[in-house]
Amino acid sequence: MDLGLKGKTALVAAASKGLGRAIAEEFAREGSRVALCSREEAAITAAAKEIERRTGNREVLPIAADLATPEGCESFVQLALSRFGAIDILIVNAGGPPPGRFDDLDDAAWQKAVELTLFSAVRLTRMVLPQMRKQGGGSIVYSTSTSVRQPTQYLNLILSNAIRAAVQGMMKTLSSDLAKDGVRVNAVQPGRIATDRLVQLDADTARRQGTSPDEVRRRYESTVIPMGRYGTPEEYAAAVVFIASPKASYIAGVSLQVDGGMLMSMF
């Protein structure tokens, strides 16, 4: 299926590895011009080069930017705009806050998580909207988590559970407010997708439960996930790129879960 993404400009945040990296590569494979960022210049440059090698797309721009700061968000958006002259798609993604139960976390931990997970979404959205409105439309996708619907499945992720829920609320409100401007706003929610982040979370769960990460994964795959396995970053990326694309032109305000059937709620 041609998703209509050839020549479109996509900005993908936190894309040196994991879900963001897979999303950036999928856009490049569809023929989009892709700006991707990470705090670490060497890591994001290496990711861009590998994406170019794997897809043959030479319109891949790596940008070193710390999205936990206003300056980092502005640098990401402005450098992409100056290179490509347009912003058709924004993928808001961020490395998840560290695991921890409520009693483990002080004000500094909460503030750091808010700056990265919530304010990066607020700032990036604010910064791309003038260009999208000028162009007559665009697409914004927030990568959140299935925990925004069922937070009690991850008791050691209270930072992520609380703050990603705020992003989800912002998404739903904006989807209605920005529709008149031709800007579609949606969210995609990963479940257990096999990334370095999930390795970290499984290790933390194993430590708390006195078991092994392999046993944590086996339990999820045998009793929690109906499809019986963790997802791949490529499977998640395919869903994100579709919902961001012109082929999803009548989809707005949607929360799409990509979790192998794990989430049990109806809505």
**CA neighbours closer than 13 Å in the CB half-sphere of residue 162:** 17
Cα separations (Å) of 9 from 31, 84, 132, 165?
Answer: 9, 7, 11, 28
Q: Is residue 152 part of a domain?
A: yes
Looking at the structure of the chain, the number of domains it has is 2
Q: What global pTM score does this model have?
A: 0.96
Q: Are residues 107 and 221 in the same domain?
A: no
Percent of the chain with pLDDT over 90: 87
Q: Is residue 258 part of a domain?
A: no
Q: Are residues 96 and 204 in the same domain?
A: no
**pLDDT, tens only, 72-129:** 999 999 999 999 999 999 999 998 888 899 999 999 999 999 999 999 999 999 999 9
**pLDDT at position 8:** 98
Q: Are residues 89 and 126 in the same domain?
A: yes
Q: Which residues, 6+ apart, have CB-to-CB distance to 241 below 8 Å?
A: 3, 5, 23, 26, 27, 30
Q: Which residue range(s) make up the domain with 120? A: 9-191+233-253
Q: Are residues 216 and 98 in the same domain?
A: no
Q: How many residues does the chain have?
A: 267
**200 vs 133: which has the higher pLDDT:** 133
Q: Over the chain, what is the mean pLDDT? A: 95
The region of weakest confidence among 58-67, 147-156, 166-175, 209-218 is 147-156
Q: Is residue 259 part of a domain?
A: no
Q: Is residue 75 part of a domain?
A: yes
Q: Are residues 221 and 241 in the same domain?
A: no
Q: Are residues 125 and 84 in the same domain?
A: yes
**pLDDT at position 129:** 98
Q: Are residues 70 and 179 in the same domain?
A: yes
CATH number assigned to the domain comprising residue 35: 3.40.50.720
**pLDDT at position 152:** 79
Q: Are residues 107 and 204 in the same domain?
A: no
Beta carbons of 141 and 240 less than 8 angstroms apart: yes
Q: Are residues 211 and 222 in the same domain?
A: yes
Q: Is residue 66 part of a domain?
A: yes
Q: Are residues 111 and 148 in the same domain?
A: yes
Q: Are residues 163 and 37 in the same domain?
A: yes
Q: Are residues 34 and 122 in the same domain?
A: yes
